[in-house]
């Protein structure tokens, strides 16, 4: 951007200087504009990550589909045990659901780490961290006492978990 601005400025100065000639009545010669090589437009384009991004996103989508379903199964067990007042079993199911979230985060981190696009790589790491944080958040699980609670809580959490990569993986 600076180079293009420099080229425009140099070109403008040369044109302005040519218009202010000191009494030169010969109009047959046009001023020559010379752009220094350092001001030339860059020739290299941004790298095209689209093919690699598609591959990484395909892998991430498979993780989201399969692994989140397994998480849902564990969370369903937790709700059933809470409603049946079986605290020990509910706690075991909560821990299993937490492990599922940690596993999802680890898989996302692993798959996104292979991305060529550094922004997708960072988005995957951020998403993975959010999954891992929720996995160990007792308050998150405490909010879920029924399937009605689950819908409310997960809608917000899913958006939070997936939003970092959503811009890359449609």
**Mean pLDDT for each consecutive 10-residue tract of the chain (170 residues)?**
31 39 52 52 76 95 90 94 95 96 96 96 96 93 90 90 90
In this structure, is residue 108 part of a structural domain?
yes
CA-CA distance, 71 to 77, in Å (whole number)?
10
CA-CA distance, 130 to 7, in Å (whole number)?
46
pLDDT at 56: 96
DSSP 38-87: GGSPP-PPPP--HHHHHHHHHHHHHHHHHHHHHHHHHHHHHHHHHHTT-H
In this structure, is residue 159 part of a structural domain?
yes
In this structure, is residue 35 part of a structural domain?
no
In this structure, is residue 32 part of a structural domain?
no
In this structure, is residue 143 part of a structural domain?
yes
In this structure, is residue 28 part of a structural domain?
no
Kindly tell me the sign of the dihedral angle through the C-alpha atoms of 58, 63, 66, 69: negative
Domains: count for the chain: 1
Query: What is the span of the domain harbouring residue 133?
Result: 64-166
pLDDT at 32: 56
In this structure, is residue 38 part of a structural domain?
no
In this structure, is residue 106 part of a structural domain?
yes
């Amino acid at each position: 951007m600076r180079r293009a601005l420099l080229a425009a400025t140099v070109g403008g100065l040369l044109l302005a200087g040519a218009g202010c000639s000191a009494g030169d009545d010969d109009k047959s010669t046009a001023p020559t504009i010379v752009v220094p090589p350092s001001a030339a437009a860059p020739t290299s384009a941004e790298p095209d990550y689209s093919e690699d991004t598609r591959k990484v996103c395909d892998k991430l989508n498979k993780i989201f589909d399969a692994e989140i379903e397994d998480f849902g199964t564990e969370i369903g067990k937790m709700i059933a045990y809470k409603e049946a007042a079986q605290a020990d079993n509910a706690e075991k199911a909560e821990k299993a659901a937490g492990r599922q979230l940690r596993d999802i985060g680890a898989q996302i981190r692993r798959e996104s780490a292979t991305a060529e696009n550094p922004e997708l790589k960072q988005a995957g790491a951020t998403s993975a961290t959010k999954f891992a944080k929720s996995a160990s958040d007792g308050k998150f699980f405490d909010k879920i006492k029924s399937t009605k609670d689950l819908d409310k809580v997960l809608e917000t959490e899913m958006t939070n978990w997936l939003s970092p990569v959503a811009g890359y993986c449609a």
